[in-house]
Amino acid sequence: MNAIELLLERVSTPMLDEPAPSDQQLDVMFRAALRAPDHGRIRPWRFLKVSGEAREALGELMAQAALEDQPDLSEDALARFRGMPLRAPMLVLAICPVKKHPKVPEIEQKMSLAAAVQSLLLAAHAQGVGAIWRTGDLCYHPALAKGLGLADNEQLMGFIYLGKPAGVKKKVPALDIGQFVSVWTGELQVS
Q: Which residues are bridge partners to 46 per DSSP?
A: 95
In what helix (H) or strand (E) does residue 139 lie, and over which residues does it extend? Answer: none
CA-CA distance, 21 to 164, in Å (whole number)? Answer: 8
- Looking at residue 152, its pLDDT comes to 96
Q: Which residues are bridge partners to 97 per DSSP?
A: 154
- Looking at residue 190, its pLDDT comes to 87
- Looking at residue 191, its pLDDT comes to 79
Alpha-carbon 115 to chain mean position: 10
Sign of CA dihedral 83, 87, 92, 96: negative
Give me the mean pLDDT over the 51-79 stretch: 96
In the chain, the percentage of residues whose pLDDT exceeds 70 is 100
- Looking at residue 172, its pLDDT comes to 83
Task: Please tell me the pTM assigned to this model.
Answer: 0.94
Residue 23, pLDDT above cutoff 80 = yes
Residue 153, pLDDT above cutoff 90 = yes
| Other CB atoms within 10 Å distance of the CB of residue 93 | 20
- Looking at residue 171, its pLDDT comes to 82
pLDDT tens-digit map of 163-179: 999 988 878 888 999 99
* pLDDT averaged over every residue in the chain: 95
The answer to whether 118 and 137 have CB atoms below 8 angstroms apart is no
Residue scoring higher pLDDT (134 or 9): 134
- Looking at residue 15, its pLDDT comes to 94
Residue 1, pLDDT above cutoff 80 = no
pLDDT tens-digit map of 92-112: 999 999 999 999 999 999 999
Spans of all domains in the chain: 15-50+87-166
- So what CATH class is 15-50+87-166? alpha beta
Give one word for 128, left, alpha or beta, with left for phi > 0 and alpha for psi -120 to 50: left
